[in-house]
Amino acid sequence: MKIALIGAGSVVWTRRLMMDILSFPELTGATLSLMDIDPVRLETARQTVERLVAQVGAPATVEASLNQRDAVRGAKYVIYAVQVGMHHATLLDFDIPRKYGLRQTIADTLGVGGIFRGLRTIPVMLSLLQDMEEVCPDALFLNYVNPMSILCLAASRASSIRTVGLCHSVQGTAHQLAGYLGVDDKRVGYRVAGINHMAWFLDLTIDGHDAYPALWDAMGNPAVYGRDKVRFEMMRRLGYFVTESSEHMAEYVPYFIKRDALIAEFDIPIDEYVRRSSENLVTFEKTRAEVASGACLLERHEIFTAPAHIFVDRDVELG
């Protein structure tokens, strides 16, 4: 079985993803095909994954290529995790709108930043899907790139390749809610519906019993409310908790980023993604040095655990 990762140069993400893959016995013998357009990042990713395979003791094979078509040839799964334009494009997504008075937090889903992120990513994604149609037509395309709904819609309209969009916001939010409620994750159940970055916990349970009354009580605790002000305000008005973070949600609706006083009141981190993007550049260099030093790469891994069975009603997202 061949699993291709396009955009492997994001080495922290690559390390966590590959450790997750290697944690499943059914996948330990897979061929892990890494691809990136940056030779330095690709080499760092290759060394990282080879080290992980050796440390885990898995029989997996690691390949690395600067050629997209070669990387996906014969693949059963193709994972997409690119950032077209890298840090420079992210700066433009924020700097240009800011000149005209538009403030953003993440800018990866909608608004000016999200739209232009989509416009520059769609052509690159479609070139990959065209290669897949020719060299691995039966593969499953797993998209981890934002804007998720825009890209999945483009893929569904322009390609015959089976496409699934993946995001950790549902299980990530479930983990946060368990913390707000003071219970172990394993006791929490939920039913969620919506589109990526704006889905809603229609049902939330603890040991099978409705947990919303307890969540409403928790919202009354200033320490809990202060950790997620925007989402709790949305729950106060709509009755359900949303899957995306407060910093994301603040720019999805017109209520919070209107005045400086509101931004301060709700602790909205303007330009948050610019800071994250800058930190990622530093993190890459640290990871590169860590790989070169021969350090054990298993120590810092944090796996996202999910329910043993996830039931999904598949449909095209139009949001």
- Exposed, middle or buried: residue 222 (CB in 10 Å: 0-12, 13-18, 19+)? exposed
Instruction: Please tell me the predicted confidence (pLDDT) of residue 306.
Output: 46
What domains appear along the chain, each with residue ranges and CATH number?
2-166+284-293 (3.90.1820.10), 170-265 (3.90.110.10)
Instruction: Please tell me the predicted confidence (pLDDT) of residue 229.
Output: 99
What CA–CA distance (Å, rounded) separates 191 from 181?
17
Q: 157: which 2 tokens?
A: 């309209």
Dihedral sign for Cα atoms in the order 300, 21, 193, 121: positive
Q: 9: which 2 tokens?
A: 């140069």
In terms of C-beta distances under 8 Å and separation of at least 24 residues, what long-range contacts does 41-45 make, across chains too? 41/8, 41/9, 41/10, 41/11, 41/284, 42/8, 42/9, 42/66, 44/9, 44/11, 44/284, 44/287, 44/288, 44/291, 45/8, 45/9, 45/11, 45/14
Q: 144: which 2 tokens?
A: 């981890």
Find the angle CA(154)-CA(1)-CA(147) to the nearest 5 degrees. Answer: 20
Tell me 267's DSSP state. Answer: T
Instruction: Please tell me the predicted confidence (pLDDT) of residue 299.
Output: 53
Start-end of H helices in the chain:
11-22, 39-56, 68-72, 86-99, 111-135, 148-158, 169-181, 212-219, 222-225, 229-238, 246-252, 260-265, 272-293
Q: Is 168 among the residues known to form the active site?
A: yes
> At residue 80, what is the residue type?
Y
For β-strands 241-242 and 198-206, DSSP reports them as: antiparallel
The single residue of 87, 88, 168, 197 carrying the catalytic annotation is 168
Instruction: Please tell me the predicted confidence (pLDDT) of residue 268.
Output: 98
Tell me the CA distances in angstroms from 82 to 122, 170, 171, 260, 306, one per residue in order.
11, 21, 22, 34, 24
What CA–CA distance (Å, rounded) separates 309 from 71?
31
Q: 232: which 2 tokens?
A: 């709790």
Q: Which residues of the chain have pLDDT under 70?
A: 299-319
What CA–CA distance (Å, rounded) separates 291 from 293?
5
- Give the 3-state DSSP-derived string for 82-105, with helices as H, strands as E and coil as C: CCCCHHHHHHHHHHHHHHCCCCCC
Give residue-wise pLDDT tens across range 149-168: 999 999 999 999 999 999 99
Give residue-wise pLDDT tens across range 103-130: 999 999 999 999 999 999 999 999 999 9
Instruction: Please tell me the predicted confidence (pLDDT) of residue 309.
Output: 45
